[in-house]
Amino acid sequence: MRRLQLFVASASIVAIVAGCGPAEPTLLPSGGGSDASGIETTAPEPTEVAFGLVLGAWRPAPIRLGDPQIAVVSDACAAAAREQLGEPEANLPTALVDARGENVATAILADDERAIECRVRIDSAGGATVDKVLRLAPSAAAAVADTGIGLTSLVQVPDREGDRMLILGRVGPKAFGVKLGFDDDTEVFASSANGWYAAWWPGHARASAIVAVDNKSLVVGTVDAPRGEVSGEMGAAAWWLDPKAPPPTATSTSIRGLLLEEACASGKSPEGRIEGPLFDLTETAVTVTFGVRARPGVQDCQGNPPFPVTFKLPEPLAERTLLDGNKVPPRDAAKPPGG
């Protein structure tokens, strides 16, 4: 995967970290005082100290990021999404950015229909380098109500010595924050904003508790901690019009097509794992994007069979072209990939 990098001028390095404070949970109020668990808080530290936190050792609670630093991460993620996923994903608003040391940040860009995960590194020159950007499956990223909490993804990431675990998910608007508990009685506080949460920790330890808490740090919502990894990624799947079906007309809303999972799946059908479709409508085209949730475990790459799909357009096709949004730029869906 190509890595994208955005740089800011050296004069703006200070601005990037403006507003960063001590590594306290995002559920803390701004300014001084103490949080729900009694941790003492202070006003934001000097910029030089805060910048050191971003580049320094991992911390179990997130570092407060200022708007300029969030903007650098967001811009890098949008640029990577535009190149690798497409324009709709590039235009998603930033829902959350989590940083807790070791130069690593996780961003979630999302609206009510789409969401992407973006893994970023912040360097000492003030640049944001995107390691990975991926679509999140709608079924794994559905919003939750009140004090509820859901798990979208919990994966091992081999991008540091000893690896790390990365978690993200949804949390209800009435919850105050999200906390992860471990068998050795340690805790990790997630960043949380706009109905999302995210965190990471070194090594391979599994969280034994994933909970939403109120402003007194009392548990108000729980989700079962999985024994293994959970991937929320919506893997790529190309689609094209079924050549055996009547071609669509200007009044068509029902479309028959064939779908091809692009990830290794031991030749198994994607039935029950198909995500979408997502639609992007313009005056000249209707872009339709499908995805497929990955099969668990190691898979053979023996080729996947095309799978028939029938879907409804949100409005009649009219004189517009049907496009497959799996590629950048979207490809004509009148024929199969490479056809």
pLDDT at 186 over 70: yes
What's the pLDDT band for 223 if we cut at 50, 70, 90?
Answer: very high
The domain in which residue 284 lies consists of 235-332
The number of distinct structural domains making up the chain is 2
Residues 171 and 252 in one domain: no
Q: What is the pLDDT of residues 282-312, one digit of tens each?
A: 999 999 999 998 876 677 887 888 999 999 9
**Single-letter residue type at 205:** A
217 and 304 co-located in one domain: no
Looking at the structure, do residues 248 and 326 belong to the same domain, yes or no?
Answer: yes
Distance (Å, whole) CA 140 – CA 293: 9
Q: For residue 337, is it within any domain?
A: no
Q: Is the pLDDT of residue 119 over 80?
A: yes
In a domain, 52, yes or no: yes
Residues 213 and 257 in one domain: no
74 and 102 co-located in one domain: yes
Check whether residue 16 and residue 91 sit in a common domain.
Answer: yes
> Do 324 and 315 touch, CB atoms closer than 8 A?
no
Sequence-ordered list of residues with C-beta below 8 angstroms from that of 10, at least 6 positions apart, any chain: 125, 126
- Domain-located, residue 339: no
Is there a single domain that holds both residue 22 and residue 133? yes
247 and 208 fall within a common domain: no
Query: Is the domain of 144 the same as that of 267?
Result: no
* d(C-alpha 36, C-alpha 216), whole Å: 5
How many Å apart are CA 222 and CA 88, to the nearest integer?
32
Confidence (pLDDT) at 265: 81
**Which among 108, 121, 111 is positioned nearest to 164, based on CA atoms?**
121
Choosing from 223, 257, 276, the residue where a domain stops is 223
Residue 38: CB partners within 8 Å, gap ≥ 6? Answer: none
57-89 pLDDT tens trace: 999 999 988 888 899 999 999 999 999 999 999
Using alpha carbons, select from 175, 34, 19, 164 the residue that is nearest to residue 97: 19
307 and 169 in a single domain? The answer is no
Both 51 and 90 in a single domain? yes
Of 195, 223, 251, which residue is a domain's last?
223
Residues 215 and 321 in one domain: no
